[in-house]
Amino acid sequence: MGGFLDAASAFPAALFGLALVVVVGYWLAVLLGGWGVPGVGATEGGDGADSGDAGHGVGIAGVFAAFGLGGVPVTVTLSLLIVIAWFMSLSGTALFDALWLRVLVLPVAVFLAWAGTRLLIAPLRHLTPREEGVDRADLVGRVCTIRTGHVSARFGQAEVAAEDGSTAVVQVRADGTDAARLMLGSTALVFDYDAEGEFFRVAPFESTPGAGPAPEADTGR
């Protein structure tokens, strides 16, 4: 027991120790019914119709999505990252006494945490609620608001309202000059949905007072 405590309180395991305590405390509170699980609306797919937590989770969810860790609640992703990083760093701390070797353990633990989390959340993505009651095709032709700092051919999220008034934070993509004009708070027109990539294609849209709603895009359906 003494050896375990020594390893857990030494570098680099100690770096993740406090975060692990927070994670364990949080999930105990969830199991006891004290808290819910926030962040569902801020998953990589961003398809949850409930946007109550979107304002709090879009930023970190966007970062996770950029590293292939989206698609599930951010609390789940973050918890897995911390647990795996702590376990790997603890193992390295127990194996090596030399400080320079323990320094090398830190980036290895972070990389293995990323790889392990990405592997574990893959099957969980199918269990995450996605656009309940809202068909993706219904969002095509609607105006959205960009919720990430930029949009590119590989990254971007936006908030869009469905006809029934519900909102969703969805993955969006744009190319070339269109992408350069889109930033946080910009309005854009959703003109297509890529079923294979599970994202919407958007273009800048500036409404004119009195012009009415945006026209429905012709998607060939």
Instruction: Read off the pLDDT of residues 105-122 as tens digits, 9 standing for 90 and up.
Output: 999 999 999 999 999 998
The span from the CA of 75 to the CA of 78, in Å, is 5
Is residue 51 within 8 A of residue 168, CB to CB? The reply is yes
Domain assignment present for 117: yes
The span from the CA of 218 to the CA of 221, in Å, is 8
The 8 Å CB, 24+ separation contacts for 172-178 are 172/144, 172/146, 172/199, 172/200, 172/201, 172/202, 173/197, 173/199, 173/200, 173/201, 173/202, 174/201, 174/202, 174/203, 178/202, 178/203, 178/204
Cis ω before 215 (30° cut-off from 0): no
Spans of the chain below 50 pLDDT: 34, 36, 38-58, 131-133, 209-221
Q: What's the number of domains the chain is made of?
A: 2
Q: Quick one: 67 exposed, middle or buried, by C-beta within 10 A (0-12, 13-18, 19+)?
A: exposed
Does residue 26 sit in the same domain as residue 59?
yes
Domain that holds residue 162: 136-204
Instruction: Look at the block and give the residue holding tokens 């290895």.
Output: 108
Does residue 106 sit in the same domain as residue 72?
yes
Domain assignment present for 219: no
How many residues belong to the chain?
221
Local structure of residue 199 (DSSP, 8 states): E
Strand pairing category for 199-204 and 157-161: unpaired
Q: With 0.75 as the threshold, say if the pTM is over it.
A: no
What number of other Cβ atoms are within 10 A of residue 149's Cβ? 13
pLDDT score recorded for residue 84: 95
pLDDT score recorded for residue 129: 54
Q: CA 144 from chain center: how many Å?
A: 19
pLDDT score recorded for residue 116: 94
Does residue 116 sit in the same domain as residue 155?
no
94, 127, 160 - which closes a domain: 127
pLDDT score recorded for residue 47: 41
Does residue 146 sit in the same domain as residue 113?
no
| Span 143-190, pLDDT tens digits | 999 998 889 998 889 999 887 777 888 899 999 888 889 999 999 999
